[in-house]
Amino acid sequence: MPLLPFYAQHFGASGMEIGLLVGVFSFVTFIFMPILGRLSDRYGRRPLLLISIIGNVIAYLLFAFAGSFWLLVFSRIIAGIANSNLSVAQAYIADITPSGERAKGMGIIGAAFGLGFIFGPLISAFFSSDIFGGWKYTLPGLIAAALSLGNFISAYFSLPESLHEHQRLPDYRFQIFDWNTFRKIIHHPGLRSIVLIFNITTLAYSNIFVTIPLLVSHAPFNMSTSQVSWIFMEIGVIAVIVQGGLTGKISVFFGERKLVIAGTLLIWIGFMIFPVSYYLPAGNITGLAIGTACLAFGSSFFTPNIMSIASQLTDPKEQGTVMGVVHSMASLARMFGPSLGGTMYDAGGPNFPYYISIALMIGAAFFLLKLPKPSARGET
């Protein structure tokens, strides 16, 4: 990001096709997150992480040399399979942290994503500039492949296994598709509320990765590709600060439930600000920055704390499975979110997707009333 929408436009893609390109990644993770999480409950976290990181290398090489829109789509399918390892990574965190520090551990993953949002757009902005001519889409892909290879080497030599043999799911309980876990989550009031809140919020939030580059590339903002990168860098800086250092301390003081509520409110405010900044002839860049900051702070409060609550409601032997199911359902929302955003952009103009997101966040607020309170949660 934010190269992907412009790369697609290079092949003549429409707003709806750009939404498809972004959404197919989430569709694939919807299928594979529970599978990778379940496999890690049986065979350990380390082998699943190593295999999936190699998959990322392959995906970015395909991205670098995509000669058509549909090959670009295929590269995102491979990337979606590889990046389904998020459920494994969060299960790893659950393995090595006590329940009282779980939000802090989940925040570290969010901070890692934040660092990616800081440096990734910088790399993208520089190497996708016109000075590199026909290589401006190839070079970022090659650099991403090289970083993924470095990631594999680092993990291979420095990442120990977190799930010991006696903690793993026994053979008699192992199934790749564990429908019982789906049923348990649906019938568990706390986990069901978490899935609904997470899905609605993700559906609203995920359209920004398509619609923000399209919004600000036209009047009154008229930003270039490199300038759009600064918006995603702002999200990354805030994520690093909040999730990397503040989440653990704040969650102990306020509690995870209150931070989930605060995060939801901030995301709603952020979406309210975007249309306002669009129509203001003066200061609209400031409004855009404030709206983006609200989204970033909101997401940084929301995600690690709601996943911490989910992990504390889960059997230790099924952390990978449940993390996979929760993220899988959110991936379904990420699949429809960009497609919805792109379609609404085509149908109603640059602000219409944000009106839809505002309505969705009001819907999420209803289910917040059923979110488990700290006293109602069991400790694992």
Read off φ and ψ for residue 67, nearest 5 degrees.
-100, 5
DSSP 379: P
User: Domain segments of the chain: what residues?
Assistant: 3-157+178-372
Tell me what the mean pLDDT of segment 198-202 comes to.
91
Tokens of 270: 């952020």
Tokens of 76: 């995102």
* Those residues with Cβ within 8 angstroms of residue 359's Cβ, 6 or more apart along the chain or in another chain: none
Tokens of 150: 């470095």
Which amino acid is present at 277?
Answer: S
Query: Residue 53 has what pLDDT?
Result: 97
- How many CB atoms sit inside 10 A of residue 280's CB? 14
Which amino acid is present at 296?
Answer: A
Query: Residue 142 has what pLDDT?
Result: 95
Cβ atoms of 155 and 53 closer than 8 Å? yes
DSSP state letters, 296-340: HHHHHHHHHHHHHHHHHTS-GGGHHHHHHHHHHHHHHHHHHHHHH
CATH class of the region 3-157+178-372: mainly alpha
DSSP state letters, 102-123: HHHHHHHHHHHHHHHHHHHHHH
Report pLDDT digits (tens) over 65-104: 998 999 999 999 999 999 999 889 988 988 888 877 788 8
Cα–Cα distance between 254 and 270 in angstroms, integer? 22
DSSP 226: H
Report pLDDT digits (tens) over 351-375: 888 899 999 999 898 888 878 765 4
Flag the least confident range among 151-155, 247-251, 279-283: 279-283
**How wide is the angle at C-alpha 136 spanned by C-alphas 20 and 124, nearest 5°?**
70
* Those residues with Cβ within 8 angstroms of residue 139's Cβ, 6 or more apart along the chain or in another chain: 64, 127, 128, 132
Cα–Cα distance between 87 and 296 in angstroms, integer? 22
Q: How many residues would you count in the chain? A: 380
pTM: 0.72
Query: Residue 374 has what pLDDT?
Result: 52
DSSP state letters, 34-93: HHHHHHHHHH-HHHHHHHHHHHHHHHHHHHHT--SHHHHHHHHHHHHHHGGGHHHHHHHH
Specify burial of residue 178 (Cβ count, 10 A radius: 0-12, 13-18, 19+).
buried
